[in-house]
Amino acid sequence: MATPIMKDYPLVLFAVSLLMLWFSERAGAYLRRRRQNPDEIEREDLTVILGAALTLLALIIGFSFSMAVTRYDQRKNYEEAEANAIGTEYLRAGLLPAADALRVRELLRDYVNQRVLFYTTRSEHQLDEINASTARLQSGLWSAVQASAVAQSTPVIALAVSGMNDVLNSQGYTQAAWWNRIPTGAWALMGAIAICSNLLLGYTLRRSDGKARHSLIMPMIVSVSFFLIADLDAPRGGVIRVSPQNLISLSAYLQTT
């Protein structure tokens, strides 16, 4: 049900899933009318199957929601870790020779601004530019500390080099966390079970005419669940997003020093 595009746009996923699940329930009601109302034994059997399907759907939705929350928390934790690594290296830059320290700190000010943009942008084109600028700044930062390390191989310089390594690693961990999404296969499984459940629900409803007001209840509940999971799982396209508060605070501090 959830294509890669829909996973990045939870509102689109909500609308599509609501329409498909409502149509599935109406299709079940239509099949029931064609059968001219199944007998009580058949209805009881199908009710048992429906209960099992809804239980399985609830479990998968619960596990998927847990996965989405875990990934959201991971992105928040890496944002904090990245801000800490940059701030620490900004201080450790004072251990370098004066010229290298000045260069590293200037690059770090630009670097933290690029990291803030990484979290806040929604434009894919701008994201490509941000990634390119980030790569250039990382190369410049590493070259600055590498030159000092080659010239003076002391434990003090090694401390600054280690801090720069943490800065570069933290960006990699952040990128990996943003790529870590709920698998498409899990979405497909949830969608298939939800469609089957709503089909059975429409087939077993005692009142199966088109005026049944409760025909939208189950599709709405499941669609809202899908929306919330997709919103937490979409790092850039959702309503609930990671705000780079630590990086913004660090950027403001670095501009004053």
- Per-residue HEC secondary structure of the chain comes to CCCHHHHHCHHHHHHHHHHHHHHHHHHHHHHHHHHCCCCHHHHHHHHHHHHHHHHHHHHHHHHHHHHHHHHHHHHHHHHHHHHHHHHHHHHHHHHCCHHHHHHHHHHHHHHHHHHHHHHHCCCHHHHHHHHHHHHHHHHHHHHHHHHHHHHCCCHHHHHHHHHHHHHHHHHHHHHHHHHCCCCHHHHHHHHHHHHHHHHHHHHHCCCCCCCCHHHHHHHHHHHHHHHHHHHHHCCCCCCCCCCCHHHHHHHHHHHCC
Taken in order 161, 118, 70, 83, the sign of the CA dihedral is: positive
pTM, full prediction: 0.84
Domain range list for the chain: 4-255
pLDDT bin (cut points 50, 70, 90) of residue 41 is: low
Q: In the predicted model, is pLDDT for residue 2 greater than 80?
A: no
More confident residue, 1 or 22: 22
- Predicted pLDDT at 47: 83
* C-alpha distances in Å from residue 240, one per residue of 27, 187, 233: 34, 19, 9
Q: In the predicted model, is pLDDT for residue 6 greater than 70?
A: no
Least confident of 35-39, 185-189, 207-211: 207-211
- State the amino acid at position 132 in one-letter form: A
Least confident of 2-11, 16-25, 193-202: 2-11
- Predicted pLDDT at 40: 66
CB contact burial 43-69 (16+ within 10 A = b; e otherwise): beebeeebeebbeebeeebeebbebbe
pLDDT bin (cut points 50, 70, 90) of residue 30 is: confident
More confident residue, 208 or 22: 22
* CA-based radius of gyration for the chain: 26
Task: State mean pLDDT over 244-248.
Answer: 95
Angle at 141 between CA 138 and CA 144, to 5 degrees: 150
The per-residue pLDDT for range 72-127, each reduced to its tens digit, is 999 999 999 999 999 999 999 999 898 999 999 999 999 999 999 999 998 888 99
More confident residue, 189 or 257: 189
Mean pLDDT of the chain: 88
Q: In the predicted model, is pLDDT for residue 131 greater than 90?
A: yes
